Amino acid sequence: MLEVDIIRKQSAGRIVLRDVAFSIRRGEVVALLGPSGAGKTTLLRLLLGLDDGYEGRVRRDWRSVGVVFQEPRLLPWLTVAENIRLVVPDGAKPPDIDGLLDSVRLGGAGALRPGQLSVGMARRVALARALAVAPDLLVLDEPFASLDARLGAALADWLAGWARDTGAAVIAATHDLAQVMRAASRLLILDGVPATLHADVTVPDGGDAALHARLVGQFGFLTGMQTTTGEQT
């Protein structure tokens, strides 16, 4: 589905990424981890084709892609349901908006407007909107920020099941090692200056406490990555 081989990515006169190569198959849930400023968002933009200013190659093989940026980017004059419906092309099968909202734990919120939503709710609307296009690839940038531990874990588990059921792939940039260990099949770990791909780790089903401890010991920045706490509404 996706083959990435970034030789070098330069920004503002400095090399941000170097020697980052990996591939993603259908049905995989891949977590992209790294310290703040390591270039995780930059890498997502490269693989999406939003930035072509790099040396290397990205080979894409999908029909549709859903993206959730760090900012929800909802149109304030539209309802939640209208924001979701907006991304579906004319003539395509209408999405099951109620079902999508139920999946992200926002049942009954379709008539609300963005100004009535908390940050966590808006992020979940953005996720439902990305799912509305029935993507082959789902790209997420800090998808569980502003969610409490229980809700974030529930959504991570649901996304892993969705990927298995649909055969779609998921790649999520995140700071939450404990949470992604529950749902991800692989971990891609960026580190260094410039950032390079230091590890490509397969995660056993259900996570692994010993693997978690080993990674924290190997990558010092992971010690600060804990399950997020915040709002649940």
**Half-sphere exposure at residue 191, Cβ-oriented, CA atoms within 13 angstroms:** 13
Question: Is 95 within 8 Å of 84 (Cβ atoms)?
Answer: yes
Of 146, 144, 74, nearest to 115 by C-alpha is 74
Instruction: Tell me 117's DSSP state.
Output: S
In the chain, the number of structural domains is 2
Q: Which residues contact 199 (CB under 8 A, 6 or more apart)?
A: 187, 188, 189, 215, 218, 219
- 68 occurs within a structural domain: no
What percent of the chain stands above pLDDT 90?
Answer: 64
pLDDT at 102 over 60: yes
pLDDT at 232 over 50: no
Q: Are residues 140 and 55 in the same domain?
A: yes
- For residue range 51-89, what is the model confidence (pLDDT) as tens digits? 999 999 999 988 899 999 988 999 999 999 999 999 988
Picking from 88, 118, 133, the residue at the C-terminal end of a domain is: 133
pLDDT at 217: 85
Q: What is the CATH number of the domain that holds 212?
A: 3.40.50.300
- Strands 65-68 and 137-141, by their bridges, are parallel
Q: How far apart are CA 20 and CA 128, in angstroms?
A: 30
pLDDT at 37: 84
Q: What is the pTM of this model?
A: 0.89
* Structure token pair of residue 52: 């072509």
pLDDT at 206: 67
Question: Is 39 within 8 Å of 192 (Cβ atoms)?
Answer: no
Q: Are residues 219 and 141 in the same domain?
A: yes
State which residues form the domain around 98.
75-133
- For residue range 117-163, what is the model confidence (pLDDT) as tens digits? 999 999 999 999 999 999 999 999 988 877 888 888 889 889 989 99
Picking from 133, 152, 168, the residue at the C-terminal end of a domain is: 133
* Structure token pair of residue 140: 């997420």
Q: pLDDT grade, residue 227 (50/70/90)?
A: very low
Picking from 133, 162, 183, the residue at the C-terminal end of a domain is: 133
- 70 occurs within a structural domain: no
